[in-house]
């Protein structure tokens, strides 16, 4: 697209073709070149492009290396657009280092003064701060609180008033799932371990263990699932990759030992889990479906479809005989197992065990029931 001044006005044209006239043309000088244009309506994308270029510069400051495709995905534009914007930054004097196949980075030491935050960005800090207070450990929470003071310090007065007004009316209630009492700085220690490639020593209590045991672990990453934080890493005791729930860690200590192995990104291991799963299909009455939705993902829920008989749900569960079966019993009077039919036998077995325990408890004398006080008339 070309820009041409005509009668003191600016028009934008697409070059359709270039025609060269030879000596046979009587009205033009020999070898004169005529450009034939197609007039296009003017589209001023300057504000949008300016915002994108500024955002690219901020993104380059946020990471050591940023890939062009990463920026193209973020701004929903082509790689050619990103290349053009990068050249614009370079022409403006921004020292950008690039390497084919690697990405872009700023030369060490180059920084811009802090940018101002919008009202929406300032409001988002509140939610993040409240979540950090409830779902991180003590040390990370303290560091984040310190960072929040620095963020609030660069806000304009109007944004500060907005944050203060909203802050007092936002509450995140802690409903359990993250116990900070045993190892209050577990997450902070793991973050340091991952960043510095140092092994950690855990005093960890497994589900079936009666007491905690010592583990040497090379943490690969941390993830949050079903209200719990998990550490995924290579366990030297088991000589394999394992995951550890942070609320079962009694003690954690950073060692001076470097990682002995090269690890793939966390997502690689989580997406290629070796755990075997079982396909389970059930149908539930519509009345009970809202109550099942609360925690069904924890048992491998994948999809649902509406049927004349109710809601048919599909699960890929890892523990069909204990985990899924015991959860299903809560809704067994409103739901039916479609497959595997062998799961019905397990449900009957669990109900028989519960029935036997209830009958056994009924035969005990009143004085032996724990937690119950007898009213004896003397």
pLDDT single digits (tens) 160-213: 788 888 887 888 876 655 566 677 788 889 999 999 999 999 999 987 777 889
Integer Rg of the chain from CA: 32
Query: In whole angstroms, how far apart are CA 203 and each of 2, 11, 228, 230, 346?
Result: 69, 73, 18, 15, 35
Which residue positions in the chain have pLDDT lower than 70? 1-47, 111-115, 174-181, 272-275, 364-378
For the chain, where are the E strands, in sequence order? 2-6, 9-20, 33-40, 96-99, 103-106, 198-204, 213-225, 228-235, 240-245, 249-258, 278-284, 301-307, 310-317, 335-339
pLDDT for 179 equals 61
pLDDT for 137 equals 81
Q: Residue 209, preceding bond cis, omega within 30 degrees?
A: no
- Can you name the residues that pair with 335 across neighbouring β-strands? 284
- Distance between CA atoms of 116 and 58, rounded to whole angstroms? 12
Query: In whole angstroms, how far apart are CA 68 and each of 50, 71, 92, 252, 376?
Result: 18, 5, 19, 39, 81
pLDDT for 47 equals 64
pLDDT tens digits, 216-257 = 999 999 998 877 889 999 999 999 999 999 889 999 999 999
The token pair that represents 146 in the structure block: 């310190």
pLDDT for 83 equals 92
Query: In whole angstroms, how far apart are CA 98 and each of 48, 66, 89?
Result: 24, 10, 13
pLDDT for 33 equals 41
- Can you name the residues that pair with 253 across neighbouring β-strands? 201
- The DSSP line for 337-370 is EEE-THHHHHHHHHHHHHHHHHHHHHTS-GGGST
Whole-structure pTM over 0.75, yes or no? no
In this structure, are residues 176 and 136 in contact, taking their beta carbons and an 8 Å threshold?
no
pLDDT for 80 equals 92
- Beta-carbon contacts of residue 286 (< 8 Å; ≥ 6 apart): 310, 311
């Amino acid at each position: 697209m070309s820009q041409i001044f005509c009668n003191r006005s600016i028009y934008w044209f697409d070059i359709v073709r270039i025609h060269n006239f030879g000596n046979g043309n009587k009205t033009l000088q020999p070898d004169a070149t005529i450009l034939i244009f197609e007039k296009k309506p003017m589209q001023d994308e300057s504000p949008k492009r300016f915002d994108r270029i500024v955002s690219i510069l901020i993104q380059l400051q946020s990471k050591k290396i940023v890939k062009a495709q990463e920026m193209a995905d973020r701004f929903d534009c082509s790689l050619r657009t990103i290349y053009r914007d990068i050249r614009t930054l370079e022409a403006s004097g921004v020292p950008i280092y690039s390497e084919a196949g690697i990405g872009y980075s700023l030369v060490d030491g180059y920084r811009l003064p802090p940018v101002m935050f919008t009202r929406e960005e300032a409001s988002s800090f509140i939610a993040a701060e409240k979540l950090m207070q409830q779902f991180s450990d003590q040390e990370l929470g303290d560091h984040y609180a310190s960072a929040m003071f620095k963020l609030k310090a660069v806000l304009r007065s109007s944004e500060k008033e907005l944050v203060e007004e909203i802050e007092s009316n936002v509450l995140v209630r802690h409903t359990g799932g993250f116990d900070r009492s045993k190892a209050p700085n577990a997450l902070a220690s793991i973050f340091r371990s991952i960043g510095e490639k140092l092994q950690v020593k855990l005093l960890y209590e497994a589900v079936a263990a009666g007491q905690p045991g010592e583990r040497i672990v090379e943490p690969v990453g941390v993830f949050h699932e079903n209200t719990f934080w998990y550490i995924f890493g290579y366990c030297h005791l088991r000589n394999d990759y394992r995951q550890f729930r942070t609320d079962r860690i009694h003690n954690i200590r950073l060692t001076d030992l470097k990682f002995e192995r090269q690890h793939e990104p966390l997502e690689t291991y989580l997406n290629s889990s070796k755990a075997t799963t079982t396909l389970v299909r059930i149908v539930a009455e519509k009345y009970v479906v809202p109550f099942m939705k609360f925690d069904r993902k924890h048992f491998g829920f994948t999809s649902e479809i509406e049927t004349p008989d109710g809601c048919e749900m599909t699960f890929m569960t890892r523990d069909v005989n204990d985990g899924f079966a015991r959860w299903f019993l809560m809704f067994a009077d409103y739901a039916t197992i479609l497959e595997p039919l062998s799961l019905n036998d397990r449900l009957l077995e669990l109900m028989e065990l519960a029935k036997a325990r209830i009958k056994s408890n009924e035969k005990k004398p009143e004085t032996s029931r724990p937690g119950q006080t007898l009213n004896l008339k003397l």
